[in-house]
Structure 1
Amino acid sequence: MHSKLHRRRFIGITAAAAGVAALPAVAGTDGLHVWTGTALGARASLRLYHPDSRTAEAAIQRCIAEIGRLERIFSLYRPDSAVSTLNREGAIHSPPFDLVRLLDSARHLHRTTGGIFDMTVQPLWQLHAAHFSQQPVPVDGPAGSALAAALALVGQEAVLVEPDRIAFARPGMALTPNGIAQGYVTDRIAELLRSEGFADVLVDLGEARASGEHPDGTPWRAALADPAGGAPLRKVDLDGALATSAPSGFAFDRAGRFHHIFDPRTGQPAEARPSVSVLAPEATVADALSTAFVQMSTDDIRRTLRVHAGVTVHALTRDGLSEELSSAAG
């Protein structure tokens, strides 16, 4: 495999400071307080306005603690996380409320996207990761029989979710929180800050969510980058959430034929658009819809938008053309 196991991000938040190590909050003369670090394996930042440095710093520390708590639920790389425990054992009793809530959202999004968004594609990821880890590195994908066996383990409807128990209906199933958990954590942090009275906030935890405005009176802004490496496709004012998906974020093979976005109907890497960005009221929804829409036709995206109010989609076609689609405001 030629890249690290994470999604490359195609969202550039203007005025965002580069950096991956956790830093203390920095206050500017305009009352803007900035923290940068990592969350769920992605570069992360918090930007909030408050005239009192101590109040802002205390809020940021609470946000960092909450990010850590949620990572202990959703991380695929921590063997003690709730998701890792569920994947290993096939069931989990007394599950964390946040995992139940996330899976309820995932079930709804699975239904509204016609089954395209599906958290149970993890066996397909595991199969491809193992296959392309062989030496010499294979040129083609996994054998048809292996692919069929992994695909038989895919199906969001086979995840049984109750307040006191989550279980898989079929042995060997596994969840991936990629494609929704970053959005969910972003929402939780944005809501925490809102509950504490912070009105002007930009949370960027792999997906972004903004409220209010920059202290200089301008909107929070985001640049949607060209996945081919060219100039930004466009800049957008951000009042709500933004998420982007692109197949070029990670590929198992050097040629880039076998990427990380799997079609749950076929088990193959999806016939995908180069990039899709979704603006929505909540980052959980934006995250999941961007994952689904990168696989969908324009007509299918339009049908899905009928049941998701206040969503705008900026998408590239396979021919490199740009499309903008919007739902009703709701």
Structure 2
Amino acid sequence: MIARRRFLSLIAAGSTAFLPLSRARAGQMPESVVWRGAVLGAAASMTLVHPDRAYARSAIDDCIEEITRLEGIFSLYRVDSEISRLNTHGELRAPAHELVELLSFGLALSAQSNGAFDPTVQPLYRLYADHFAAPHAATSGPLSEAIAQAMRLVDFTQVELQSDRIRLRRPGMAITLNGLAQGYITDRVADRLRAVGFEDVLIDLGETRALGRHADGSAWRAAVQDPRDPARTLFELTLDSGGGTASALATSAGQGTRFGSDPRNHHLLDPHTGRSANHYLSVSVVAGRATVADGLSTALSIVPPSAAEKLLAAYPSARAYLLTPEGDLQTRAAA
């Protein structure tokens, strides 16, 4: 059984004596309208601050429709999704522009991370998932020969991407965008809400993005849990949507999706070794967009620690929080 844990939590607003006048609309005081559900298999929520509850609920319904549409593109659990059809046939004609856009970003991140982030890692992930799903599976993981065979199908340079066609050049290749899709959907929903006039929103669709503030005027805040002890908070921070550089937060941790009983076997697989990367216990990234935070938290979990600042140099507004196996919390940003 593969367990999935999350390490981000949102902190309730404090009380304030009064609200800024800009937060009162048409003589009404804003209130929070909350939706809870699931997106791509993860617990999710949206909080919209608005004086018109019916309008907010209508906007949430519209966002849910958009989320469902995007899951039809990115979900690996739906056999009819675009990404599943690409993996089955090795080619997809007339792909949705969202798939082209996100895969393009993923391939660029692959090149920037020297292949540490690789959308074609899916055959390796499937090998581990199948191995540990079998009765009496070896706790050490798949045999080296099986890993080497799967790694022959992992190579981001063998993805042919055009606006009207995606092709995987080697038979048996498959892609996953699970290291990006939650962040991307989060950004799409945030942009959609902002376009129809919502200024104060907190979106948590596996990754987190904030606009504006709580209904009481206080800033949105998030906490990152210690993967060694879920009851302990590793750190807290304010999601500042004002400047746009720290409005999104994503966390990757091996403990989030473990294979078997050995915590060293998990979903953060290094395409260069075929084994799980264990440089850190968790990696959290703050950025202006959730797609960037999502992708960087995965890539930084896998690249050698000496390469972290070089990777971050391509995203100068991003900041990373790295928890080492010894329990030290390090902060990194572009040099």
* Structure 1 residues 263-298: Cα deviation after superposition (integer angstroms, max 9, x where no partner): 011111113310010000111110010011122344
Residue in structure 2 matching 1:287, options 294, 298, 312: 294
> Secondary structure in 2 aligned to 1:170?
coil
Q: Which residue of 2 aligns with 1:234?
A: 235
The CA distance in 2 between the partners of 1:244 and 1:175, in whole Å, is: 21
**Which amino acid in 2 is paired with 1:14?**
I
The CA distance in 2 between the partners of 1:74 and 1:185, in whole Å, is: 10
Q: Which residue of 2 aligns with 1:323?
A: 330
**Where does 1:128-277 land on structure 2 (aligned, <5 Å)?**
128-229=128-229, 230-239=231-240, 240-277=247-284
1:307 maps onto 2:307 in alignment: no
The CA distance in 2 between the partners of 1:236 and 1:326, in whole Å, is: 16
* Structure 1 residues 241-270: Cα deviation after superposition (integer angstroms, max 9, x where no partner): 100000011221112232111001111111
1:296 maps onto 2:303 in alignment: yes
Structure 1 unaligned spans of 5+: 17-28
The CA distance in 2 between the partners of 1:304 and 1:155, in whole Å, is: 19
Q: Which residue of 2 aligns with 1:124?
A: 124
Q: Which residue of 2 aligns with 1:20?
A: none
The CA distance in 2 between the partners of 1:146 and 1:182, in whole Å, is: 30
The CA distance in 2 between the partners of 1:54 and 1:289, in whole Å, is: 37
The CA distance in 2 between the partners of 1:118 and 1:236, in whole Å, is: 29
The CA distance in 2 between the partners of 1:222 and 1:249, in whole Å, is: 18
The CA distance in 1 between the partners of 2:37 and 2:76, in whole Å, is: 19
The CA distance in 2 between the partners of 1:71 and 1:41, in whole Å, is: 10
For the 8 Å contact 2:91–2:167, the answer to whether it is kept is: yes
% same residue? 47
- Alignment size in residue pairs: 314
The CA distance in 1 between the partners of 2:103 and 2:57, in whole Å, is: 32
The CA distance in 2 between the partners of 1:325 and 1:218, in whole Å, is: 27
Q: Which residue of 1 aligns with 2:18?
A: none
**Which amino acid in 1 is paired with 2:113?**
T
Structure 2 unaligned spans of 5+: 14-28, 241-246
> Secondary structure in 1 aligned to 2:145?
helix
1:55 maps onto 2:52 in alignment: no
**Which amino acid in 2 is paired with 1:9?**
R
* Structure 1 residues 199-252: Cα deviation after superposition (integer angstroms, max 9, x where no partner): 111110000000111121111000011001142011100121100000011221
**Which amino acid in 2 is paired with 1:48?**
L
For the 8 Å contact 1:223–1:235, the answer to whether it is kept is: yes
**Which amino acid in 2 is paired with 1:233?**
L
TM-score (norm 2): 0.90
For the 8 Å contact 2:279–2:304, the answer to whether it is kept is: no
CA RMSD of aligned residues (A): 1.6
* Structure 1 residues 106-137: Cα deviation after superposition (integer angstroms, max 9, x where no partner): 01111222221111111011111122222222
1:15 maps onto 2:22 in alignment: no
For the 8 Å contact 1:247–1:272, the answer to whether it is kept is: no
CA drift of 1:30 comes to 4.3
For the 8 Å contact 2:268–2:298, the answer to whether it is kept is: yes
Q: Which residue of 1 aligns with 2:115?
A: 115
The CA distance in 1 between the partners of 2:75 and 2:90, in whole Å, is: 16
> Secondary structure in 2 aligned to 1:232?
strand
